[in-house]
Structures are given as structure tokens and as C-alpha cells.
């Protein structure tokens, strides 16, 4: 009996695994028994101490039980193409990004082996169409993923673009040939594949176009911070350095970390933390000093995760109504801010433009017009955000849009590829 081949959908927000075993599909495994959907494992790492780690829903539970002490990491996949981000420290222990991801993949592997009651050495792992628009950075990200997968103990590894995996899943239900574009809108990336598929064996030449953009759900969340909420934490604070005369503003580099879910946790790193302390000491008016105090409270009382969870809820509310309130009631950080869908759409125009530029490039590669596409297959939670969906309807028409399972279609295609790999 051959060992199973694991199919791994390692996502920015959620991760899943299935397998191909003995010529049969093994659908999504129950990797997180404590989650409301045991097949979905939140892509979270929590270190209460340097030598202790929790994963998924248990990471959140223990984080709250420990009164939010320690380090909670989310959206760390987003750092892959960033060569200047090497990792961080947990206590005095250095933790490279490759090891951070490897630790998470190792835990997925361990739980999958438990569910399968068999060891696993081979894996088909999903990857975005592009980790970065820069080819060098994209290759660097894939190299890091290879190292992380090796750290996790996989000896045979194949990476498959996630939109291609979704297309492989869709092919299973087609009865006639179609020209299909697959859009995979996740937490960290938006990816597109144009291909001709039908009820016949898949070949690489059936892929006519492939492109993507490292912007998706997290980038849409960040606009709430960058356009309104970050002022509450000193985004426009003015200060003077000791013995200096010039009036300075909070640097953009600090605000970039504050605005982004994957980066804000790094405000607690010693050099950045000390710099913010200097800004607070040099603040030129009580309003700015109070704003920096709130930023310290957000960091020191470990409220970052809860704050961005509230932003995510507000974004979802704006998908269903024209107005929504963001409310946060932690002592010292209390706020209620109203948002309108129109403002969110305006703020998101740059993100939207970059996402759809990747779609245009995908079509351009094949010399195909939108009108020639027979079917648009959508997967990922961000595909349901109205400004994304409305643009897709404008380009292709509502009748061509088909939404697959938000979380399981990519995994299903990866299992399909694992089956093909087993036959080689």
C-alpha cells in the first residue's frame, strides 16, 4: 500500500488538508476538532512562551485565557515575498518566517497523519498565482515555502497555483468543453487562471493565462485603518526629538505596520516600540500624546487581534447593508465609528484596480475578450464583497458567474492533482 499524498491549502486566514489514498479521494480532514467547522484550521500561531505553541482555534482560546500575553501571529503568509522581513523574536528565541510557516505546516501534517492513521511524506501544496508582482520576489517567496515545507518533514513537494486547483475541481462536474476563468479571492492574494476545460484528461497546455495580485481581503480590511481609524492611534501625531527644533510627523513606516493585519503585531518589536515611546515623549500637544497612549494600550494589552476582528465584521456588514458601525469597547480604547458602503468603495479603488489589472493581464496573455469567456468560477470569501462582485458582473454578466465552496474548492482540486501525482 502506498502512503497517502497530502493536499494542503495553506491560506492567509484559513488552512485545510485532504489526501489521495489507495486510488481514492479523502476529502477535507478534521484538523481542528475545536473549531465550528473542524475542516477549517485558522492560520494562527500563539506563543505564550518561547517553547510553547498553540494553533488554530485553540490559539485564540489560549490567547484569551492568558489575558492576551505572549505573541499571536496571523496573516504571516503575507510576508513571504518581502526579503526585508526575516522573522521575529519570541522572547529571546529567534523565529524565521520559514520556521514560523514550517511549524504550522508540521502541525497540519501531524494532525493529518493522525486522521489518516498513516505517515505522510509527499504533499501537493497550493500557492497563489503570484506572491508578488515582482518576479524576483515571487520566486523568493516560493523558495521560502519550499524551505518551510521541508522543515515540516515533507520529502516530495509539488506546488500548484490555487486558481488552477479550483479549475481542476470544477472540471469534475463539466459535461462539455468551456472557456473558463477562475478567480480565487482569499485573505492575502487574488488569483486568476484562464483555461479550456472539459470532460477529458487535463493537460498543461489547457492553461491559457495565469496571473495574480498580492492584495485581497486583508488589503480591504486595511483601508478602514488607513482612512479613518488610525488617527485614533496617532497617525497624524506631531512631535519633536530631544533638543530638536523641527516639528515631525509619525513616520509612514510605522503607520504602514499599524494599518495592515499581518504587520501590526511587529509594532511590539524593540526598535519600533522604543521609537514610538520617543514619539510619545516628544508629542507637542495633549491630543497627540493621548493618541500615542492609546497605541501603547492597543499593543501592550494585546488588543490588536480583537481590533482587526472587529474591522472584518464591519466589512462583512457593509456587504449586506449601506451602513455599519464599528464598535470597540475595551477600557481606554472605546470607540464607535460609523461607516458607509460608498466610503468603503471609494477608499478601496486602488486595491480594486490592482486586482482587476491582474485579471486583465490573464485575459491578455491568451488574447481573449471577456465576452468570449463561457464561465467565471469564483472561490474565496472576498469574492462576495460587493465592489468585487459588481465589477465581475459588469465585465462578464451575472449569468456567467458561478460561486464555488468558499473554502473547499481549491482543496478539492489539490486532491485531484494528488491523484494525478500518484499515477506517475
Helices (H), 207-285: 217-227, 252-259, 270-282
The dihedrals phi and psi of 192, each to the nearest 5 degrees, come to: -135, 140
Q: Which residues pair with 83 in a beta bridge?
A: none
Cα within 13 Å of Cα(130), Cβ side: 25
- What's residue 37's pLDDT? 92
- What's residue 244's pLDDT? 67
Burial of 270 (0-12, 13-18, 19+ CB in 10 A): exposed
Q: Which one, of 128, 139, 148, 160, lies nearest residue 5 by Cα?
A: 160
- Give the residue range(s) of CATH 3.30.420.40 domains in the chain: 5-176+405-423
d(CA 30, CA 239): 52
**Which CATH architecture does the domain made up of 5-176+405-423 adopt?**
2-Layer Sandwich (3.30)
Please give the helix or strand (H or E) that residue 345 lies within, else none: helix 341-347
d(CA 379, CA 165): 11
Write out the chain's pLDDT in tens, 424 residues.
478 999 999 998 899 999 999 999 999 999 999 998 999 999 999 999 988 999 999 998 998 888 778 888 888 898 899 888 888 888 888 999 999 999 999 999 999 999 999 999 999 999 988 888 788 999 999 999 999 999 999 999 999 988 788 878 877 777 788 899 988 888 888 989 898 888 777 777 888 988 888 888 888 989 999 999 999 998 888 888 876 677 888 888 888 888 887 777 777 777 888 888 888 888 888 999 999 899 888 888 878 888 988 998 999 899 889 999 999 999 999 999 999 999 999 999 999 999 999 999 999 999 999 999 999 988 877 888 889 999 999 999 999 998 765 568 889 989 999 998 887 6
Q: Which three cell numbers stand for residue 373?
A: 469567456
Do the beta carbons of residue 27 and residue 34 sit within 8 Å? no
Q: Whole-model pTM above 0.85?
A: no
Q: Which three cell numbers stand for residue 357?
A: 489589472
For the domain with range 204-218+348-403, which CATH number is right: 1.20.1300, 3.40.50, 3.30.420, 1.10.10? Answer: 3.30.420
Instruction: Characterise 316 by phi-psi region: left (phi > 0), alpha (psi -120 to 50), beta (else).
Output: alpha
- DSSP assignment, residue 3? P
d(CA 366, CA 250): 46
Q: Which three cell numbers stand for residue 372?
A: 468570449
- What's residue 1's pLDDT? 46
Amino acid at each position: 500500500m502506498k502512503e497517502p499524498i497530502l493536499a494542503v491549502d495553506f491560506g492567509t486566514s484559513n488552512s485545510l488538508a485532504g489526501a489521495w489514498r489507495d486510488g481514492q479521494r479523502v476529502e477535507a480532514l478534521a484538523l481542528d476538532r475545536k473549531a465550528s467547522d473542524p475542516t477549517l484550521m485558522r492560520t494562527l500561531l500563539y506563543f505564550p512562551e518561547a517553547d510553547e505553541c498553540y494553533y488554530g482555534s485553540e490559539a485564540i482560546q489560549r490567547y484569551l485565557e492568558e489575558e492576551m500575553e505572549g505573541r499571536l501571529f496571523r496573516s504571516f503568509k503575507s510576508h513571504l515575498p518581502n526579503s526585508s522581513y526575516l522573522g521575529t523574536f519570541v522572547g529571546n528565541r529567534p523565529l524565521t518566517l520559514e520556521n514560523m510557516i514550517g511549524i504550522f505546516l508540521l502541525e497540519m501534517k501531524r494532525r493529518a497523519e493522525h486522521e489518516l492513521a498513516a505517515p505522510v511524506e509527499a504533499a501537493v501544496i497550493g500557492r497563489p498565482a503570484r506572491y508578488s508582482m515582482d518576479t524576483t520576489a515571487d520566486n523568493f517567496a516560493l523558495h521560502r515555502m519550499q524551505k518551510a515545507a521541508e522543515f515540516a518533514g515533507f520529502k516530495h513537494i509539488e506546488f500548484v497555483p490555487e486558481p488552477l486547483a479550483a479549475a481542476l475541481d470544477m472540471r469534475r462536474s463539466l459535461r462539455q468543453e468551456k472557456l473558463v476563468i477562475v478567480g480565487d479571492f482569499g485573505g492575502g492574494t487574488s488569483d486568476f487562471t484562464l483555461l479550456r476545460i472539459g470532460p477529458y484528461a487535463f493537460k498543461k497546455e489547457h492553461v491559457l493565462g495565469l496571473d495574480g495580485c498580492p492584495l485581497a481581503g486583508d488589503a480591504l480590511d486595511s483601508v478602514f485603518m488607513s482612512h479613518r481609524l488610525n488617527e485614533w492611534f496617532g497617525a497624524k501625531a506631531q512631535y519633536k526629538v530631544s533638543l530638536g527644533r523641527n516639528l515631525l510627523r509619525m513616520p509612514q513606516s510605522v503607520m504602514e505596520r499599524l494599518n495592515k493585519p499581518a504587520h501590526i503585531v511587529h509594532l511590539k518589536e524593540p526598535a519600533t516600540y522604543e521609537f514610538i515611546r520617543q514619539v510619545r515623549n516628544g508629542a507637542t500637544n495633549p491630543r497627540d500624546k493621548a493618541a500615542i497612549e492609546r497605541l501603547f494600550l492597543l499593543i501592550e494589552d494585546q488588543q490588536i487581534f480583537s481590533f482587526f476582528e472587529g474591522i472584518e465584521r464591519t466589512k462583512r456588514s457593509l456587504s449586506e447593508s449601506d451602513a455599519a458601525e464599528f464598535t470597540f469597547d475595551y477600557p481606554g480604547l472605546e470607540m464607535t465609528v460609523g461607516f458607509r458602503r460608498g466610503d468603503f468603495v471609494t477608499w478601496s479603488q486602488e486595491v480594486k484596480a490592482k486586482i482587476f489589472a491582474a485579471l486583465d493581464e490573464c485575459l491578455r496573455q491568451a488574447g481573449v475578450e471577456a465576452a468570449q469567456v463561457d464561465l467565471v468560477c469564483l472561490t474565496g470569501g472576498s469574492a462576495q464583497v460587493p465592489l468585487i462582485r459588481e465589477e465581475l458582473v459588469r465585465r462578464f454578466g451575472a449569468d456567467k458567474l458561478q460561486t464555488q465552496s468558499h473554502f473547499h474548492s481549491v482543496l478539492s482540486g489539490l486532491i485531484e492533482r494528488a491523484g494525478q501525482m500518484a499515477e506517475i
